[in-house]
Structure 1
Amino acid sequence: MATNRQDYITLLENDFAKAFVAFDQDYNIFRAKICNNIFPWENSIKKCVFLNQIHSNIITHYNKDFHFNADGIMSNEKNVALCILSADCLPLLLYDDKNKAVAALHSGRKGCFENILKEAVLKMQESFNTQTKNLKLIISAGICAKNYEINGEILNYSKENFVPFLHENKLDLKALIKFQAKELGIKDIFDINLCTFDDERFFSYRKNQTPKRIVSVIYLKD
């Protein structure tokens, strides 16, 4: 269950890992303010890692071969916070409770269409010997179907490929993610079930082209 404090919701916490979403009104695409705000509350975090999110299904490993241009990052290092910025796109957080590894994904429409979740699971299997039966998927705050209207080529493509997740001209990205997760064998799924468009605490680019961002974070504890 999620727990709350002002501008902050805990999504997961146990002896080995923690995940949360933070949404201070000063947060934007500049990362320094976010880190400065997080560190006082999460004093076990030694480093915040961000990506140059490019709306892809590229997953990178936080190690010596780390690539900045990606939309997913995974790690088994302790006290390294994996951070995803968003303002409607779905932040997905993964925790392997057996092998003690985590991943954070930025999954917008393109990421969902290209199944970034599957790419992350495959990379985690390769790097950490992850099995989907040991994975927990957390879906942080993102836009809900009733507010995600599409048209033109995107609507036509969705009609051809994602009909079960299309309601007239509105696309349900969360339902698509959950379907993909279950296809992979992930059964432990937690959806915070909060819409960035409807909930005034959050930021929605679709609503007003805001430069502000929420940050969804997961890390392993010492």
Structure 2
Amino acid sequence: MSVNLLTYSNLNRFTEQILHFSSTRQGGVSSDEYASLNLGNFSDESRENIIQNRQLLCADLGIPLNRLIGAHQVHGTNVKLVDDSLLKMDENRRKASLEGFDALICNTPDICITTTTADCVPILLFDPVTRSIAAIHSGWRSTLNNIVGCTIEAMKDNFGVNPANLIAAVGPCISGAVYEVGGELESQFHINGFDTHQFFSQKNDDKFLFDIRLAVQKQLEAVGVNNIEVSPHCTFSEPDLFFSARRQGSHSGRMLSGICLKK
């Protein structure tokens, strides 16, 4: 089985300038709960299988493995600028420098920045004017604290990005039809100023269904991003295609979404 990758039609219009993808769970060497394309460096599986899966991905993309860059995500809002200096670090220093970030931004060609997910929302951004990119991981905590807005502010500061020029892809994640959360979470979003009636529907006395991808889409729109493609896929409801931490528990694999500027 070959590696099965998804792409986005709005980003596909720029194939001469970028490559991009969201992985599925299909086409790797892992087995059992991790079958088969587990790409999560921090998942509880053999390091050998993860490296081999990443090699298969990079072969499909046509990039060297050391150009596939991802952070250790912590459900925060910190944004990391990735450039050539990172590639010159030894493995331990590079790992340390990527600790604690949930968004990466870059304007250096031939570096594929990635975000790791298994129900949370992956977001890819491309500005064809400044030739800059971002990869964002937005779980509920990062959505609550608007990592999308934080990332775009960082792109403004570092690259001079105008949000109206950004092309955005919101990747596969858990859908509002099945993402069950408690009332305390709905309350936190209400306190933070969210129109919770738009994003939460009450299931019973103390449970709600949360449309996290709609919340992320509205955050993009709120800062002036107009060109947004939202994947219809639900990671929880499509077990043949995707890993899901909510469905599988602690032994879930991970998908990657990534974007890379071409020279």
Question: Please, what TM-score do these two structures have when normalized by structure 2?
Answer: 0.78
- In 1, the alpha carbon distance for the partners of 2:164 and 2:187 equals 35
Give secondary structure in 1 for the equivalent of 2:109.
Answer: coil
Per-residue CA deviations over 1:141-184 (Å, capped at 9, x if unaligned) read 10100111111421332344431211111111111111111110
The residue aligned with 1:43 is: 62
- Seen in structure 2, the aligned counterparts of structure 1 residues 74 and 99 have a Cα distance that, compared at 3 Å, is same
Work out whether residues 159 and 166 of structure 1, in 8 Å CA contact, stay in contact via their aligned partners in 2. no
Q: How far 1:44 moved relative to its partner?
A: 4.1
Aligned length: 218
Q: Displaced runs of 4+ in structure 1, greater than 6 A? A: none
Q: How far 1:69 moved relative to its partner?
A: 1.7
The residue aligned with 1:98 is: 129
- In 1, the alpha carbon distance for the partners of 2:105 and 2:262 equals 15
Give secondary structure in 2 for the equivalent of 1:150.
Answer: strand
Percent of residue pairs bearing the same amino acid type: 22
Question: Please, what TM-score do these two structures have when normalized by structure 1?
Answer: 0.91
Matched, 1:153 2:184: yes
The residue aligned with 1:173 is: 212
Equivalences for residues 114-193 of structure 1 within 5 A: 114-160=145-191, 161-162=193-194, 163=196, 164-168=198-202, 169-193=208-232
Q: Unpaired runs of 5+ in structure 2?
A: 27-35, 42-49, 87-96, 203-207
Task: Decide which structure has greater strand share.
Answer: 1
Q: Unpaired runs of 5+ in structure 1?
A: none
Q: How far 1:120 moved relative to its partner?
A: 0.5
Give secondary structure in 2 for the equivalent of 1:141.
Answer: coil
Work out whether residues 144 and 195 of structure 1, in 8 Å CA contact, stay in contact via their aligned partners in 2. yes
Aligned amino acid, residue 103 of structure 1? A
Give secondary structure in 2 for the equivalent of 1:146.
Answer: coil
| Match for residue 111 of structure 2 among 80, 97, 120 | 80
- In 1, the alpha carbon distance for the partners of 2:183 and 2:215 equals 20
The residue aligned with 2:235 is: 196
- In 2, the alpha carbon distance for the partners of 1:218 and 1:179 equals 22
Task: Decide which structure has greater helix share.
Answer: 2
The residue aligned with 2:259 is: 218
Work out whether residues 125 and 166 of structure 2, in 8 Å CA contact, stay in contact via their aligned partners in 1. yes
- Seen in structure 2, the aligned counterparts of structure 1 residues 159 and 121 have a Cα distance that, compared at 3 Å, is closer
Give secondary structure in 2 for the equivalent of 1:51.
Answer: coil
